[in-house]
């Protein structure tokens, strides 16, 4: 996929007639925009709007573009907004490789080819040879890496990070965010990072917007 920025064009979201946030911002390929703000200010809601799963209780307007593609004109499954949540949300009844193969686009055909792609992506996040493992046997940091591998395999147009590091201890947190930012830079993916943590924001080395303050 060619490198594309993300453009939030006069995005405005309200709840019960009260405007939660208004944002216009361009994020370059590989750049991280950090979004901070108090609990309940609408950070997750912004990601839900971009991803296409905003609850109908909200009133939203504005467009979101990935390069020249208007994501807000597409159904959620066609947006390819690569979202990572606080919880890695792995399927417990599938192996690690199974969790990854599931995310690969159907145009990669053949079981061997799909498994090879999954294994290579696993190796790229530091989990070489762990495809056969059951997700329940992994540590929290390893699960977070599997979730990252899965999102990278899903042909994302952007990475939307909803506090994905917050359950990890300090060292792991630092390692994981460096890995995510390096992967985003390598793939030329624009990133939105929702966090409460100033150290995350500093590590992102990009612009910071604060909502609800």
Positions that interact with ligand ATP (CB under 6 A): 15, 37, 39-45, 55, 57
**Cβ at position 22, least distance to ligand ATP in Å:** 14
Distance separating alpha carbons of residues 209 and 103, to the nearest angstrom: 31
Rounded alpha-carbon distances, angstroms, from residue 6 to 29, 67, 68:
8, 6, 9
Extract the tokens encoding 92.
Answer: 């417990």
| 47 vs 144 by CB, closer to ligand ATP | 47
Sign of the CA dihedral running 64, 201, 128, 169 = negative
**Cβ at position 30, least distance to ligand ATP in Å:** 24
Asked if 130 and 122 touch (Cβ cutoff 8 Å), the reply is yes
Distance separating alpha carbons of residues 77 and 99, to the nearest angstrom: 17
| 44 vs 95 by CB, closer to ligand ATP | 44
Asked if 44 and 90 touch (Cβ cutoff 8 Å), the reply is no
| 55 vs 107 by CB, closer to ligand ATP | 55
Rounded alpha-carbon distances, angstroms, from residue 95 to 109, 122, 126:
20, 12, 17
| 36 vs 97 by CB, closer to ligand ATP | 36
| DSSP 3-state of 79 | helix
DSSP state of 1: -
**Cβ at position 37, least distance to ligand ATP in Å:** 6
**Cβ at position 158, least distance to ligand ATP in Å:** 18
| 19 vs 105 by CB, closer to ligand ATP | 19
**Cβ at position 144, least distance to ligand ATP in Å:** 18
**Cβ at position 15, least distance to ligand ATP in Å:** 5
Distance separating alpha carbons of residues 74 and 70, to the nearest angstrom: 7
């Amino acid at each position: 996929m060619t490198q594309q920025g993300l453009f939030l064009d006069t995005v405005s979201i309200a709840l019960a007639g009260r405007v939660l946030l208004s944002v216009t911002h361009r994020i370059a390929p590989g750049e991280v925009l950090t979004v901070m703000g108090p609990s309940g200010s609408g950070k997750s809601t912004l990601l839900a709007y971009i991803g296409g799963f905003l609850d109908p209780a909200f009133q939203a307007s504005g467009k979101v573009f990935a390069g020249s593609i208007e994501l807000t004109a597409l159904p959620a499954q066609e947006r390819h907004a690569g979202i990572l949540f606080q919880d890695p949300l792995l399927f417990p009844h599938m192996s690690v490789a199974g969790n990854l193969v599931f995310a690969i686009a159907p145009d990669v055909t053949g079981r061997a080819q799909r498994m090879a792609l999954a294994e290579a992506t696993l190796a790229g996040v530091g989990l070489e040879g762990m495809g056969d493992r059951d997700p329940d046997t992994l540590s929290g940091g390893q699960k977070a890496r599997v979730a990252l591998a899965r999102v990278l395999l899903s042909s994302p147009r952007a990475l939307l990070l909803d506090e994905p590091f917050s359950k990890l201890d300090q060292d792991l947190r630092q390692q994981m965010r460096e890995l995510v930012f390096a992967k985003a830079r390598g793939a030329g993916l624009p990133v939105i990072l929702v966090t409460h943590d100033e150290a995350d924001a500093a590590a992102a080395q990009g612009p910071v917007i604060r909502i609800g303050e």
